[in-house]
Amino acid sequence: MYFTKNESRLTARRQNETIMIEAWGRDALRVRVTRSADFTGNNAALSPVESSALISENERGAVITNGRISCTVSNNGDLEFFKNGASILKEYMRDWGDTNEHSPSMKFRAREFKPVSGNDYEITARFEASDEEKIFGMGQYQQPNLDLKGCVLELAQRNSQISVPFYLSSKGYGFLWNNAGIGEVMFGANYTQWHSKLSEELDYWITAGDTPKKIIENYTAVVGRAPEFPENALGLWQCKLRYRTQDEVLEVAREYKRRGIPLDVIVIDFFHWIRQGDWSFDPEYWPDPKAMLDELKAMGVRCMVSIWPTVDRKSVNFWEMLDKGLFIRTERGSIQCFDFQGDTVIYDALNPEAREFIWSKAKENYYKNGIDMFWLDEAEPEYSAYDYEHYRHYTGPALKVGNSYAKAHAKAFYDGMTAEGQTDIVNLIRCAWVGSQKYAALVWSGDIKSTFTALRDQLSAGLNIGIAGIPWWVTDTGGFFGDVTDEHFNELLIRWFQFSAFCPVLRMHGDRGPHNIPKLSDLDYGGGFSDTGQPNELWSYGEDVYKILKKYLDIRLSMKDYIKSVMDEASENGSPVIRTMFYEFPNDGMCWDIADQYMFGPKYLVAPILYQGMTERAVYLPDGKWKSIHDGAVYDGGQTITAAAPLEIIPVFERL
């Protein structure tokens, strides 16, 4: 092994492989490995930072240290990472020349580069597993597992699945797979294995910290943090599939005003346009958007409008975009990517010219009339078939770069709105990647079922995506696919609303069946042809339900100053808004095992009701004093209590 070094970087060369390890942020190292002539220079999710390191050589190899973290490189090229001198992560090797005590006969290498074409490889990286280690983060997966040890995760974006490949370990480190390509990670009991289907080089980043909060602070310092969250979006967001006319929107807003219920945001969903890709209102059903928006503004209500990245071949923008090469390309046959209610292609957010184009249309047709919030739906992007090898972007094959699409899509609108001087930016989006938070992305958990099973999945999803660096997160309250005639729907809605009241954003949304409301038009296009669901306002489910929902909206509104302070903390140090118990109590071993309760910021412990018919539940209270927000009873911490939870109560305790 041949070593070279400078003030921040250690380079090691052996045979046809080059390893570069450099200080990158506080207590952090970036590792890149290539089999090409040189490195690409692509920083992927990482922002450039100036750091220095201590580097030394010895008879066994070399060591690079940056604060609490260090990495040893053996003369065989094996890597091992240490925090304050204690091993935290080691490459998995079972090959000749390996220095561990295991058999070398299997010829497992820690790093494998399988040639695909040119400078591209299928790349595999393996690390030793630790029995006592717990793993959290990685974005949003529709499963109940909060601790991801033992899980196999696809590194790919789908409707309701979001790959943000950063994890936090109970051993005191954080790890970022700095790769936007399609792949897989297995957090096995025997070893951890990362796999990329198409890459030029291996690239990952690792940081050490004494607490989870410090690890997340180090991580978000190099990938970005959310901006300041606007105060005028901390209350209720009203949405359904779908308001079909401007009169429907105004009628709902007026009823909220008549009832004296503050409404922060009302949302106009899909097919308010004539064709996908028109990015404008159908004038038959939205004849005067500016007048509608002026009235909403006078009531103190912001308006958000749905934007899809899909473009119908009959759209007014199709041929211009085709001629300019602004679409995602297919590798074979038709350029069609998506076939929901139209023969559609998808604009390529990884093309800067395409981002400028879609913003120019949104600015002309929405923003100038007063729309200052955008719902970026379908942002994975959603394909009719998730055959990632079939699609190609401006910057390369989807297999290689596709996971970053949603981040680029969010950037298109954030950059455009910032250029207009807007500061209170928040855009709802259905997908994300590492660093999406810095583009004012409020991520929602996608089109999920209206079931208690789905509700349980959302709790782990929301907690893990917060660990992955994305603090602004929301669900469709009550689930997306639901039927109001289901005998248990009202119970589910109440329990979900109670949970949502203690989430970053409180948003009513869903496709409420049965779908027996006549369409406005017999045409197969335009703002009147698509279905609409049943009413979905607070008062739509009867007086008893209304009273409970209104109670929790009032509780949330009374906490606005507190919620704003938690949002500010997310901007300052990257902390999640909803937090795993161990995030606030890292020295309490019980808190690393709890998956069904959480902290809403540093002050409130929330124990949601996640099962049908449940009217009480166990709640673990860490050390300290805890006061129920419902009856004022004070409890000593360090114990598990049984909390009453009749339908109108979600157990919530204030930390004194």
Asked whether the beta carbons of 450 and 480 are under 8 A apart, the reply is yes
The beta strands (E) that lie in 75-190 are given as 79-83, 86-90, 111-117, 120-128, 135-140, 152-155, 162-169, 173-177, 183-187
Among candidate residues 470, 474, 401, 477, the one with its CA nearest the CA of residue 437: 470
Residue 476 known to be catalytic? no
Residue 294 known to be catalytic? no
Burial-class residue 144 by CB neighbours within 10 Å (0-12, 13-18, 19+). Answer: middle
The total number of residues shown for the chain amounts to 656
Residue 618 one-letter amino acid? A
**Cα 213 vs. chain centroid, distance in angstroms?**
18
Residue 101 known to be catalytic? no
**Cα 498 vs. chain centroid, distance in angstroms?**
22
Among candidate residues 576, 500, 467, 438, the one with its CA nearest the CA of residue 234: 500
- Give the Cβ contact number of residue 568 at 10 Å: 14
Between CA 88 and CA 34 the distance in angstroms is 24
Asked whether the beta carbons of 155 and 404 are under 8 A apart, the reply is no
Between CA 153 and CA 359 the distance in angstroms is 33
Backbone dihedral region of 654: left (phi > 0), alpha (psi from -120 to 50 degrees) or beta? beta
Asked whether the beta carbons of 542 and 299 are under 8 A apart, the reply is no
552 Cβ contact list (under 8 Å, min separation 6): 497, 498, 501, 650
Q: Which two tokens stand for residue 434?
A: 């590492």
Q: Which residue has the tokens 């390890």?
A: 21
Q: Is 228 helix (H, G, I), strand (E, B) or coil?
A: coil
The beta strands (E) that lie in 530-570 are given as none
Asked whether the beta carbons of 264 and 235 are under 8 A apart, the reply is yes
Q: Which two tokens stand for residue 49?
A: 């930072």
The one catalytic residue among 380, 457, 511, 537: 380
Q: Tell me the pairing of strands 79-83 and 162-169.
A: unpaired
Residue 449 one-letter amino acid? K
Asked whether the beta carbons of 506 and 498 are under 8 A apart, the reply is no
The one catalytic residue among 22, 377, 511, 596: 377
Asked whether the beta carbons of 534 and 512 are under 8 A apart, the reply is yes
Residue 48 one-letter amino acid? P
Kindly compute the dihedral angle of the four CA atoms of residues 402, 404, 405, 408, in this order, to the nearest 10 degrees. -150
Between CA 228 and CA 423 the distance in angstroms is 9
Asked whether the beta carbons of 567 and 228 are under 8 A apart, the reply is yes
**Cα 242 vs. chain centroid, distance in angstroms?**
24
The one catalytic residue among 95, 133, 228, 447: 447
Active site residues: 377, 380, 447
